[in-house]
Amino acid sequence: MSFSRRTLLKATAASAVTGGVGAPYIARAQAAEWTYKFSTSLPELHPSVTRTREMAAAIKTETNGRFDMQVFPNSQLGSTTDVLSQLRSGGVEFMAQSPVILAILVPAASISGVGYAFPDYPTVWKAMDGDLGTFVRGEINKAGLEVMDKIWDNGFRQTTSSTKLINGPDDFKGFKIRVPVSPLWTSMFKALDASPTSINFSELYSALQTKIVVGQENALALISAAKLYEVQKYCSMTNHMWDGIWITMNRRAWAALPDDVKAIVSRNANAAAVKDREDTEKLNDSVMQELEGKGLIFNQPDAAPFREKLRSAGFYAEWKGKYGEHAWELLEKAVGKLS
Ligand code: X2X
């Protein structure tokens, strides 16, 4: 059923309930005053999409139906690259995306994705709820977008392949790997001597299936939710970067909301972020078992040689130069010396 037809049916049903003669008073299913689209490339089965739907429902209830957030998962509104420009123009009001992808519009935003920067979750949340996060949100605002305070979790990223396990940096030599469309990702895998190709998430499954690329990298929760185990055989726990999900908003659309509605949306988005973080941390172990059950073969390579390879290839020095002293200091304050 088309979207507009469904909306029409809903509206018709609502008036049938409320319009009858002598009908008892019930809280009316009012037409929303604001109907905003929320876009994500993550598939329906991903835990963050479940939390997003819960959040949208809570916002609708708490605004008495005045605010309707319509959730479009799985790149339904277009590829990540497309939706980023729709977010800018106002065609899409909310977008959930990786800080590293957001860097196409806000170069400093990718700093949280620098390879092997974050050792663990406590360090991630301290930095992202602290000075590093505040700095990045400031940069996002300067670029003309709004962003929620709390970042969600897309997990520590792992490397899958249809041909082999990655045991050490040498195994990346010439490895045809899909990376999301963003300079940091390409730079990092080039520094590892891999052969990265930028492909939007919406095209990833078929790129793996048709062997345009041999491997990809993502967190276990998404490898499971997107069923990448159907087209991949090996999974190396390279833990090469932590990735988050910023909830960004088109500035004009956000400014159009009254303060009480803004407060309800923000409170629910930040509460959902906290739940999402708990979900993904809990999922880590069980997902690995589930994926082993689906036939993925795992290994756990030592992180140190990869990090050393990045360092000797000049990766950290290059990105320190790009982000600048101030931003790099904030990162190193959170994670320790990188270069
Ligand atoms: O495109 C990806 O791999 C994804 C979904 O993890 C991101 O948004 C970075």
pLDDT digits (tens, 9 = 90+) for 309-321: 999 999 999 999 9
State pLDDT tens for residues 117-168. 999 999 999 999 999 999 999 999 999 999 999 999 999 999 999 999 999 9
Q: Distance, CA 238 to ligand 1 centroid (Å)?
A: 16
Residue-level pLDDT at 285 = 72
Q: Which atom of ligand 1 is nearest to the CA of 200?
A: 1
pLDDT level of residue 12 (50, 70, 90 thresholds): very low
- Tell me, what's the pLDDT at 280? 87
Residue 54's pLDDT is: 98
Average pLDDT for residues 11-16, to the nearest whole number?
42
d(CA 33, CA 195): 49
pLDDT at 5 over 60: no
63-80 pLDDT, tens digit each: 999 999 999 999 999 999
pLDDT of residue 31: 84
Regarding pTM above 0.85, the answer is yes
- The SS3 assignment for 297 reads strand
Instruction: Report CA 183 to chain centroid distance, whole Å.
Output: 16
Residue 22 reports pLDDT greater than 50 = no
Structural domains of the chain, count: 1
Q: Going by CA atoms, what residue is nearest to atom 9 of ligand 1? A: 98
For residue 330, is pLDDT > 80?
yes
Task: Give the residue, by CA position, lying nearest to ligand 1 atom 4.
Answer: 201
Q: How far is CA 54 from CA 67, 267, 282, in A?
A: 14, 13, 19
How much distance in Å is there from the Cα of 180 to the middle of ligand 1? Answer: 6
DSSP 3-state of 298: strand
Q: What is the mean pLDDT of residues 269-277?
A: 97
Q: What is the mean pLDDT of residues 225-252?
A: 98
Nearest atom within ligand 1 for CA of residue 182: 9
Out of 80, 186, 213, give the residue to mutate to test ligand 1, the one with the largest number of ligand atoms within 8 Å of its CB.
Answer: 80
Relative to the CA of 101, which ligand 1 atom is closest?
A: 9
- Lining ligand 1 with CB less than 6 A are 41-42, 97-98, 101, 154, 180, 201, 218, 222, 243
For 298-307, what is the mean pLDDT? 98
Give 250's strand partners. Answer: 145
Q: Considering the chain, what percentage of its residues have pLDDT values greater than 70?
A: 91
Ligand 1: distance of its center to the CA of 298 in Å? 21
Q: Which atom of ligand 1 is nearest to the CA of 41?
A: 5
Tell the residue nearest (CA) to atom 1 of ligand 1: 201
The yes-or-no verdict on residue 220 having pLDDT over 60 is yes
pLDDT level of residue 30 (50, 70, 90 thresholds): low
pLDDT at 13 over 90: no
Q: Which domain holds residue 243?
A: 5-335
Quote the pLDDT of residue 6. 44
Question: What is the CATH number for 218?
Answer: 3.40.190.170
**Residue 20: is its pLDDT beyond 60?**
no
Sorting pLDDT into bands at 50, 70 and 90, what band is 28? low
**HSE of 18 in the Cβ direction (CA atoms, 13 Å)?**
12
At 176, the pLDDT band (50, 70, 90 cuts) reads: very high
Interval 260-281 mean pLDDT: 96
Pocket test for ligand 1, best of 39, 40, 41, 104 (most atoms within 8 A of CB): 41
Residue with tokens 């509206």: 11
| Atom 2 of ligand 1, nearest CA residue | 201
Mean pLDDT across the chain, nearest whole number? 93
Smallest Cα–Cα separation from 47: which of 286, 242, 238, 266?
Answer: 286
Asked if the model's pLDDT at residue 197 lies above 80, the reply is yes
Distances (CA, A) of 247 to 99, 244, 264, 287: 10, 10, 15, 25
pLDDT at residue 282, rounded to an integer: 86
